[in-house]
Amino acid sequence: MSNQKFDTERLHAGYDPADHQYASSVPIYESAAFGFGDAARANGILGGTVSGYSYTRNGNPTTAVLEKRIAALEGGVDAVAVGSGMAAITYTILNVAEGGGRILAPTNIYGASLDEFRTLFPKFGIQFDFYDDVNDLDEVKKRLHPDTKAIYVESVANPSTEITDIEALAKIAHENGIPLIVDNTFPTPYLLQPFKFGADIDVYSSTKGINGHGNVISGLVVDHGQFDWANGKFPQFTEPEFTLGDEESGKQVSFVDKFGKGAFAARIQTKYVRLFGGLLGPFEAYLVLLGLETISERLEKEVANATAVAKYLAANPHVKRVYYSSIEPNNSLLPKYFPKGIGAILAFEASGSEKEVANILDNVELFSYLPNVGDAKSLIVNPTRTTHREIPSAIRAKHALNNQVIRLSIGLEDAADLIADLDQAITKAFNK
């Protein structure tokens, strides 16, 4: 099954119908526990020598299809599906830096991530070094410390759509014996596969474009399987793990011993998901699998629609600036990272004051005013008052994010209707 193309794998990877009554749609295994059958099989499942399931907190057959499918789509070795994008990010950070250490991250990241990194992780002994321009490589090099455990970035910034130079950052990370972690939520694996540019771990809010229908909260951690966790900086992967060893013989085993290149995802599954909880439930996994089946067609049309909307906005006299790097003529990172386009999300700065912004929000009819992106339906939001409240105003100001900025997530409607809706809302807003 390996080496199939993206459009084939999004429908088939990780699922063998012969194991599931030849069901054409991945069955929902809505069961808390799974029978051991007999004592020998119980020993085998819990000892890891027989594949099977015991308890859904530790693993579920429906969720496992999603995990295998996303790993295949990304060119990774393994993946873990959890209850939200924030859970995926949290477990990833803890897994790489638990026990203390530093992480380097730009300030242009998702609001809840920035808030967690600034205010919560330090209470767990994990400190963050922040820098402002994601692609300022000199700044990155300057801020690495001997105990820096990872560089963490987002592939496309929200809402500016600024593109991150993943290859350059991966090179610096690897020269320093640390991994590059990429939140690739905005582009989805259809538009960008960070592993191709050297990223080591991808995290997703699959709530967004991967599922694409705005009906489930979910997160994914995907493991490239190329990073050397035994390089001396990450003892949690090389020290004996009680649950992997054999009590009777006294044999001790580490995550690297047992899982080799797949140690990162295996450790999240074995330690964080099993002990902290939060595995994505089978029904939610089913919905994400269903959404994923049409990811290519959705993203292709959403990019075309978003491009048409961005061009309309760029020509509107009440729009000061459009943030959509797909239409920037001289963006050198665009052809390298985003030949199929930057995605469904864009933003614009309206002229006038916050009053006109409120008028636009109050007058749109087709766009839904809510805090989400990547839905099949088009969405609108004023970030500084809603989604980006978690970001201190001083940091927002550094990224040109003021109260006149409006973010759009473009769906699958007819582009002409979306443009007509924005046009009537903007016209009304400025005639009041």
The footprint of ligand PLP (CB under 6 A) covers 84-86, 110, 112-113, 154, 158, 183, 185-186, 205, 207-208, 217, 219, 373
Closer CB to ligand PLP, residue 83 or residue 262?
Answer: 83
- C-alpha to C-alpha distance for 279 and 45, rounded to whole angstroms: 19
Contact by Cβ (8 Å): 126, 101: yes
- Shortest approach of ligand PLP to residue 111 CB, angstroms? 9
C-beta of 76 vs 85, nearer to ligand PLP: 85
What is the DSSP code (8-state) at residue 197? G
CB of 81 to ligand PLP, least distance (A): 12
Which residue's C-beta sits nearest to ligand PLP? Answer: 85
Any bridge partners for residue 152, and if so which? Answer: 181
Minimum CB distance to ligand PLP, residue 117 (Å): 12
Q: How far apart are CA 26 and CA 63, in angstroms?
A: 10
Q: Write down the least CB distance from residue 225 to ligand PLP, Å.
A: 23
Q: Which residue number, 153 or 256, has a Cβ lying nearer to ligand PLP?
A: 153
Token look-up 């005013």 returns: 369
Give the relative orientation of helices 415-431 and 354-363 as an angle to the nearest 10 degrees.
130
Nearest CA-CA partner of 177 in 261, 224, 234, 134: 234
Hey, which bits of 176-326 come out as E strands?
180-183, 201-205, 219-223, 319-323
CB of 252 vs ligand PLP, minimal distance in Å: 36
Compare residues 179 and 262 and give the one whose CB is closer to ligand PLP: 179
Minimum distance of ligand PLP from residue 135's CB (angstroms): 17
Nearer to ligand PLP, 205 or 236 (CB): 205
Q: Which is nearer to ligand PLP, 184 or 404 (CB)?
A: 184
CB of 42 or CB of 370, closer to ligand PLP: 370
Q: 3-state DSSP call for residue 210?
A: coil
SS3 content of the chain, % helix, strand, coil (to 5): 45, 15, 40
Cα torsion angle, 156, 158, 161, 162, sign? negative
Q: Minimum distance between the CB of residue 426 and ligand PLP, rounded to whole angstroms?
A: 26
| Paired tokens of 168 | 């350059």
